[in-house]
Structure 1
Amino acid sequence: MLPSRDQHLVQIVDAALADTALRSGEWLVCRPGCTQCCVGAFAISQLDAERLRTGLRQLEATDPQRAARILERVHLSVSRIAADFPGNVHTGILEESPEAQEQFADFANDEVCPVLDPETGMCDLYTARPMTCRVFGPPVRSEDGLGVCELCYHDASEDEIAACEMHLGTDALEAELESQVETETGQHGNTIVAFALHR
């Protein structure tokens, strides 16, 4: 079950995105239908996975045909990538060994997210999307420095990019909710979107 406080986490992150978008102006070119960041598998937490599953269940109640199309794309995606998945194909959990992490770096880099509607270029579970999707694009700080989408911030100086940095401060809350979900589901470790929704 998705923790009730996940909605608070989502609100914080979405508000931070709105703030950085305001400061970024035309430099932040992320728009509906821009799908570059929807290609290539990426790791998501069990909290992200539970949010996606909750979103899919809600969609099944309101638009079962659309939900069925998502599940069809999920099954097709898993069938394509399972043989090379650097983890447990039964649980969908990624292995954490250095070898597995190296393998994941080259894994399914051309695989389109199964939640993306190929006809509209829109995310069919947009309100339930993972945290990575919510923060991709604007300047986000990591151990490697500030990272931005390669399509954004053209002609902006380093100082101008830094002035648009997205500030979250949600690490503790997110970690707490992730731990809660892992305890309740018995699933520990990261997965990917396709396996999170695979039935």
Structure 2
Amino acid sequence: MPSGPDRFEIDIPLTELLVKDRELIVRTDKALAHAVQCGGEHLVCRPGCTPCCHGAFAISQLDALRLRLAMSELAMADAERAKAVSARAAAYREQYGSSFPGDTASGILGTTPEAEAAFEDFANDAACPALDPTSGRCDLYNARPMTCRTFGPPVRHASDAGEGFAVCEMCFTEAFPEEIEAAEMKPPFAEEQELLRHFKPESGETIVAWCLKLPSDHPTAA
């Protein structure tokens, strides 16, 4: 069975994986709530603030599975909104598919140095198809990827320049270093990686636009 944002091969029952994913999301949201409380006025993220909803970013197969299931649920609860999301995703794929640095059939991103370099410049100004252009809100907010759930507050990361904090460029602009450190969000990344080990293959990232289709082809676990 092909692997990608439409098909999923996992080595545990789907129901068990979804329970574990729900636990992961609860822990992530608690970490975010704590960072928001500590960040106070320095964290300016608000509903309708959408700069972080523009530009392509890689998501895991766990994120993709969550989004596909959410699209199925949205189609049953609000068919018109689901059609709008699917249409925006289709338009995105039509516009940017020719320059997609990966397999356009599966939506899986390439992993060669050339593909990774191309992804740096891919669809940088494009709005996420899940973003409602009228309300400025995410139509699949409860199923949003981990990147979206951890963006805004300071999150510690390591780079060639050393360890530091990744933080929304609109937030903490007048904060002292100790205030940034005090508001650090500590996402359960290790727990996320444990869940990703249940997918076959273990790697295989995609982007949001390749997941947001109407549920004519539901996610399948094997």
CA distance in 1, matches of 2:144, 2:158: 24
- TM-score normalised by structure 2 residue count: 0.84
Alignment equivalent of 2:90, drawn from 72, 75, 85: 75
Quote the offset at 1:187 in angstroms.
Answer: 8.3
CA distance in 1, matches of 2:131, 2:29: 20
Moved more, 149-158 or 129-138: 149-158
Alignment equivalent of 1:85, drawn from 97, 100, 113: 100
Quote the offset at 1:66 in angstroms.
Answer: 0.5
CA distance in 1, matches of 2:100, 2:191: 30
CA distance in 2, matches of 1:38, 1:14: 18
The aligned counterpart of 1:58 is: 73
Q: Is the 8 A contact 1:17 1:166 kept in 2?
A: yes
Alignment equivalent of 2:183, drawn from 146, 164, 176: 164
Aligned: 1:151 with 2:166: no
CA distance in 1, matches of 2:24, 2:112: 29
The count of aligned residue pairs is: 195
Question: Which letter maps to 1:154?
Answer: T
Query: SS where residue 80 of structure 1 aligns?
Result: helix
Query: SS where residue 10 of structure 1 aligns?
Result: helix
Query: SS where residue 197 of structure 1 aligns?
Result: coil
Gaps of 5+ in 1: none
Moved more, 187-196 or 126-135: 187-196
CA distance in 1, matches of 2:75, 2:130: 14
Aligned: 1:177 with 2:195: yes
Quote the offset at 1:99 in angstroms.
Answer: 1.2
CA distance in 2, matches of 1:54, 1:25: 34
Alignment equivalent of 1:6, drawn from 21, 27, 30: 21
Question: Which letter maps to 2:165?
Answer: L
The aligned counterpart of 1:115 is: 130
CA distance in 1, matches of 2:167, 2:120: 19
Quote the offset at 1:3 in angstroms.
Answer: 2.4
The aligned counterpart of 2:3 is: none
RMSD: 1.4
Quote the offset at 1:198 in angstroms.
Answer: 4.1
Q: Is the 8 A contact 1:93 1:191 kept in 2?
A: yes
Query: SS where residue 156 of structure 2 aligns?
Result: strand
Q: Is the 8 A contact 1:93 1:188 kept in 2?
A: no
Moved more, 107-116 or 141-150: 141-150
Question: Which letter maps to 2:71?
Answer: L
In 2 relative to 1, CA 55–187 (structure 1 residues): closer, same or farther, beyond 3 Å?
Answer: farther
More helix by share: 1
